[in-house]
Amino acid sequence: MDIPILYADPHFVVLNKPAGLAVHPGPAGGPSVEDCFGQLSRRKDGPWLAHRLDADTAGCLLVALRKTPLREAQAAFAEGRVRKTYWAVVQGGPAGDSGVIAQNLSKTSDRTGWRMKPDAHGQPAITQWRVLGRSDDTAWLELSPKTGRTHQLRVHCAHAGWPILGDPLYGPPGRELGLHLLARALELNATVKATAPPQPAIQAELERCGWARS
C-alpha cells in the first residue's frame, strides 16, 4: 500500500489518507491504513493512530511512531491544542460568510446500522465555519471542529440545511459523487504540521466555487 506522506520526523508521520480507506480494520476486515504501519516502523512500540478519520474522508492523518509521542498527541487532542482544518463542498450553503454551529450529538442505531443525530442531551459538539467560495448551487467551506465527535462535520452541515455533497448517510439521495470532505490541514505544534491537496474527485466542484488548481 502506497499512502503519500505529507510530513515525517522520528516521532510523527502525517499521511495523506485516500478517501474510501478505513483507518483500521472493521468487523468484516478489509484494507486499512494500519496495513502500511510496517513500512513506517519495525519497532514493537508503534506506530499508533493518534486520531481517526472517517473512511470516506481524505486528507491529513497523524500517526505516532512511538508510545511517548502518542501520549503527547493524545493529550494535545484532549486539551484542544491541535489545529484541524477541513474543506467541504456543500449543497446550497449558509446565508452568511462565517459562523459557529453548537449542536450536541448522540449515536442512534436501527436495523440498517448506526448514525449520529442532533440531540440536546448528547455530547457537546462545536464547529466553526467560513465560506471560501460559492457557485450557483453549492458553497466551499472551511470547517474547524472545536470538538471531535464522530461524523461531527457531516451532521452539523446537514442539520444546518447545507449537507456535504456525496454524503451517503446525511446528504440527499441520488447524487453518487463521493464525500466532498477533505482534512485539509493539521497542526500539532510549531513543527509537526501538514497540508493535504484536494483529491481529484472533488476538484471539479471546488473549481465551480472559485478554487484554482495552482
Euclidean distance between CA atoms 62 and 56, whole angstroms: 17
The owner of cell 460559492 is 134
Task: Considering the candidates 2, 35, 54, 56, report the single residue annotated as catalytic.
Answer: 54
Question: 194, 179 in Cβ contact below 8 A?
Answer: no
Alpha helices in 137-189 (DSSP H): 152-160
Alpha helices in the chain (DSSP H): 37-40, 67-78, 152-160, 200-208
Euclidean distance between CA atoms 127 and 124, whole angstroms: 10
71: left (phi over 0), alpha (psi -120 to 50) or beta: alpha
14: left (phi over 0), alpha (psi -120 to 50) or beta: beta
Euclidean distance between CA atoms 47 and 27, whole angstroms: 21
Please confirm, yes or no, whether 56 is among the known catalytic residues.
Answer: no
For residue 86, give the amino acid letter: Y
Question: 14, 73 in Cβ contact below 8 A?
Answer: no
The owner of cell 470532505 is 181
Instruction: Please give the positions annotated as active site.
Output: 54
